[in-house]
Amino acid sequence: MISRALAVAGVGVTLVGVLMLLVLAAQAGFFGPVARVVAGGVFSAALVGAGLRVFGRPGGRVGGIALVATGIAGGYLDVVAVTGYYHWVPAGVGLVAALAVALFGLGVAMRWQSQPLAVGVVLGAALLSPALTVDLMLLGFLLVLQAVGVPVQMRRNWPVLHVVRTLPIVFASLCMVALNGLAGATSTSEVVRRGGLTAAVIACAAIGVVGTVLVTRRRPADITASIAMAVTALPVLAVSVLFDRVPASAITGALAAVLLGLAAATLVPALTSTLRIPAHTALVSALTGAVALLQTCARATGAEPDLLPTALFAVALAFLAVAATTRTRVAASIGLAFAVLSGLILFATANPETLALQRLAEQRLDLATAVSALLGLGVAAMVVWTVPRLPGWREQVLVTGMWIAVSIGGLYFVLVAAVSLGVTLGGGDGFVVGHSLATIVWMAAATASLFYGLRRITRSPSVAKVCLASGLLVAAAALAKLFLFDLATLSGLVRVAAFLVVGILLLLTGTRYARAFADSESSQT
């Protein structure tokens, strides 16, 4: 343990010395640029040679690994200095040279079966490269370190290497996105810089996705690879904030399509056998893709409270439809999350005060809120269709809770849709007509639920119990609204129609209720 601690300290101190040779000596005027670069390269090569020699001796494993890691990282920094600090060679040449140095170091690490050597090479080069260049060139060298670790991960179970090759490029990208956002695109150079930054973060995400697929095909239990893939998506989500609505939506939408497509591939038997994507990778891909899709909806609609719920309800419908056809609980959970979020956003606009006061309803409600509410009704119906078909979600308590939640949500969506359509299309009397229509629809839904429950009371008592409870709940809500709100707010024939229709439905329901239980008692005797 002491020898390893000393070796790690030696690696850090020596690399700082190499950095000082390349940078601080230049600032102090010591040596010429060529002499500094040559000295750094020779010193790094000497360390690698010494490490290769020491490793084969008894007790020389720790020292050999430390020397080689220091030498390789120093050589990488030398290439970064030549390319990004002195600008002696084109960027492409420098990146190819850096790739060769990194491949050599990781090749030695694989031959020696040493994760510490691989980590030392990547981490040392990544941490000290910003001292030599902070421009887009830095992201290029960090991308090289991220990509060069993929073949190693395919053959070795080195989770720490996943972390050290992924976090530097992600952190540097996020920092540059933040700085670019603060600076703003006020000149042509800034616009070009923003384009290069976007290309870099897309490359980072692409390496993350492709690398994860390749690694998990070889080692399906590598959860770290899946987490690293999710982390590489963060810069893409961040960089989209720098753009206007259309390009931002295109960036995040493309990311969502790739990640959700990767997750959906596990639902197709032909692709499942070909790609061999493990469950944890599909789960992480689905969740990350859902976040990207959420951001896409927000940017595409401008986060306007009238439009955003419509987009989110449409997404919820799609996920729930997939869940119903494939019996996938992950898709159902994502769909429910989108449904709840969109319902909360809609509730912020169409709150009880807005629905109760005609002045506020005419100001805040329009055709868009009506469409959102109708989509919400569709989502509620899809939830009723989907949840009982999912494995592990068929417990009576869960189904009962689902029916109660859907009943409450359905009441709200009907009310919002009716009032929104009323104030939008009905002119001055639209508000009262909408409320009257909502009360009638509430009672009609309660009647339908009660009738269905009474029909199933002998064949499926559990289903009948849920339908009867939901129907009675909705009927009670309709009556409460009729006497507490409609009686005081509505007027004229609209109020008369509401009371007449609700009364007739209650009479029909009561008659059917009594006959059903009478038939049940006679059959038992």
Q: Are residues 87 and 172 in the same domain?
A: no
Last residue of one domain, picked from the residues 303, 336, 364: 303
Residue type, 80: V
pLDDT at 397 over 70: yes
pLDDT band at 505, cuts 50/70/90?
confident
Angle of helix 33-55 relative to helix 2-19, nearest 10 degrees, comes to: 160
Judge whether 432 lies within some domain.
no
When computed from its CA atoms, the radius of gyration of the chain, rounded to whole angstroms, is 32
Would 149 be classed as within a structural domain?
A: no
Q: In the predicted model, what is the mean pLDDT of residues 74-89? A: 83
List pLDDT tens digits, range 139-167: 999 999 999 999 998 888 899 998 999 99
Do 10 and 44 reside in the same domain of the chain? yes
**Confidence check: pLDDT of 10 > 70:** no
On the question of pLDDT at 394 being above 80, the answer is no
The pLDDT tens digits for 198-207 are 999 999 999 9
d(CA 379, CA 335): 9
pLDDT on residue 15:
54
pLDDT score for 471? 83
Q: What Å distances lie between residue 109 and 97, 100, 104, 265, 500, CA to CA?
A: 19, 14, 9, 35, 84
Average predicted confidence (pLDDT) for the chain: 84
Whether the per-residue pLDDT at 486 is higher than 70: the answer is yes
Same domain, 115 and 251: no
pLDDT class for 41, splitting at 50, 70, 90?
A: confident
Identify the pLDDT of residue 184: 62
Tokens of 304: 């306007």
Which two tokens mark 243? 């753009």
Question: Rounded distance, CA 290 to CA 438, Å?
Answer: 34
Q: What is the dihedral of CA 23, 25, 31, 32, to 10 degrees?
A: 30
| Model confidence band, residue 186 (pLDDT cutoffs 50, 70, 90) | low
Nearest CA to 457 out of 472, 468, 446 is that of 468
Same domain, 111 and 212: no
Measured CA to CA, the distance from residue 365 to residue 342 in angstroms comes to: 16
Compute CA distances 350 → 344, 427, 457, 502, whole Å. 10, 19, 37, 25
Question: Does residue 250 fall inside a structural domain?
Answer: yes
The pLDDT assigned to 22 comes to 53
pLDDT at position 36 over 80: no
Cβ contacts of 291 within 8 Å, gap of 6 or more: 233, 237
User: Tokens for 316?
Assistant: 């919820």
Which of 123, 106, 103 is CA-nearest to residue 166? 123
Judged against a pLDDT cut of 60, whether residue 453 lies above it is answered with yes
Residue 517 pLDDT greater than 60, yes or no: yes
CA–CA distances in Å: residue 411 to residues 118, 366, 402, 445: 60, 19, 14, 9
Categorize the per-residue pLDDT at 2 as very low, low, confident or very high, splitting at 50, 70 and 90: low
Cα-Cα-Cα-Cα dihedral sign, residues 286, 292, 294, 297:
negative
Per-residue pLDDT at 379: 95
Domain that holds residue 235: 158-180+193-303
Close Cβ partners of 264 (under 8 Å, ≥ 6 residues apart): 322
Ranges 379-383, 394-398, 502-506, most confident: 379-383
Q: Which helix (H) or strand (E) holds 18?
A: helix 2-19
| Residues 223 and 104 placed together within one structural domain of the fold | no
Q: Residue 12 pLDDT > 60, yes or no? A: no
CA 348 to each of CA 291, 354, 372: distance values in angstroms, whole numbers, following the listed order: 21, 10, 13
Listed range (19-33, 258-272, 305-319) with the worst mean pLDDT: 19-33
The arithmetic mean of pLDDT across residues 454-481, rounded, is 80
> Does residue 332 or residue 133 have the better pLDDT?
332
If asked whether residues 163 and 297 sit together in one domain, one would say yes
Instruction: Report the pLDDT averaged over residues 255-282.
Output: 88
Domain final position from 303, 329, 364: 303
**One domain, residues 102 and 205:** no
d(CA 51, CA 71): 8
Tokens 């959102």: give the residue.
372
User: What local confidence, expressed as pLDDT, does residue 29 receive?
Assistant: 55
How do residues 17-32 score in pLDDT, each as one tens digit?
555 555 555 555 555 6
Question: Is 450 part of any domain?
Answer: no
Is residue 262 in some structural domain?
Answer: yes
CA 106/CA 167 separation, integer angstroms: 18
pLDDT number for residue 336: 94
- Determine how many CB atoms are found less than 10 A away from the CB of residue 500: 12
Q: Are 68 and 173 in the same domain?
A: no
Closest listed residue to residue 52, CA positions, set 4, 104, 9: 104
Q: Which residue has the higher pLDDT, 507 or 250?
A: 250
Q: Is residue 362 predicted with pLDDT exceeding 70?
A: yes
For tokens 């507490």, the residue is 484
Contacts (Cβ under 8 Å, ≥6 apart) of 231:
166, 167, 170, 208
* Residue 255 pLDDT greater than 90, yes or no: yes
Reply yes or no on whether the pLDDT at 96 is more than 70. Answer: yes
Percent of the chain clearing pLDDT 70 (strictly above): 88
**C-beta neighbour count of 267 within 10 angstroms:** 15
Q: Are residues 172 and 71 in the same domain?
A: no
Query: Is the pLDDT score of 416 beyond 60?
Result: yes
**Nearest CA to 197 among 156, 136, 148?**
136
Strand boundaries in 21-89, DSSP class E: none
The separation between the first and the last C-alpha atoms of the chain, rounded to the nearest angstrom, is 84
Distance CA 114, CA 66 (A): 11
Total domains in the fold of the chain? 2
**Band of residue 8 on the pLDDT scale cut at 50, 70, 90:** low
212 shares a domain with 103: no
Residue closest to 342 by CA, chosen among 403, 389, 294:
294
Let me know: does 159 contact 222? Beta carbons within 8 Å.
yes
DSSP classification of residue 456: T
Shared domain for 120 and 230, answered yes or no, is: no
Q: Are 261 and 271 in contact (CB under 8 A)?
A: no
Average pLDDT on 118-143 reads 86
Examine residue 493 and state whether it is found in any structural domain, yes or no. no
Residues 122 and 163 placed together within one structural domain of the fold: no
Say if residue 337's pLDDT is above 90. yes
Query: What DSSP letter does each residue of 169-187 carry, written as one string?
Result: HHHHHHHHHHHHHHH-S-S
pLDDT band at 524; cut points 50, 70, 90: low
Name the nearest CA neighbour of 502 among 481, 524, 523, 473: 481
Q: Point out the least confidently predicted range of 4-13, 38-47, 238-247, 284-293.
A: 4-13
Measured between alpha carbons, how far is 154 from 171 in angstroms, rounded to an integer?
Answer: 24
Dihedral through CA 24, CA 25, CA 26, CA 28, nearest 10? 90
Work out the average pLDDT over 245-267: 93
458 and 520 in contact (C-beta within 8 Å)? Answer: yes
pLDDT at 53: 82
- Mean pLDDT across 235-251: 92
On whether residue 312 sits in a domain, the answer given is no
* pLDDT recorded at residue 493: 80
- Which is it for the CA torsion 172, 173, 177, 178, positive or negative? negative
Residue 63 lies in a domain: yes
- Which of 285, 303, 321 is the last residue in one of the domains? 303
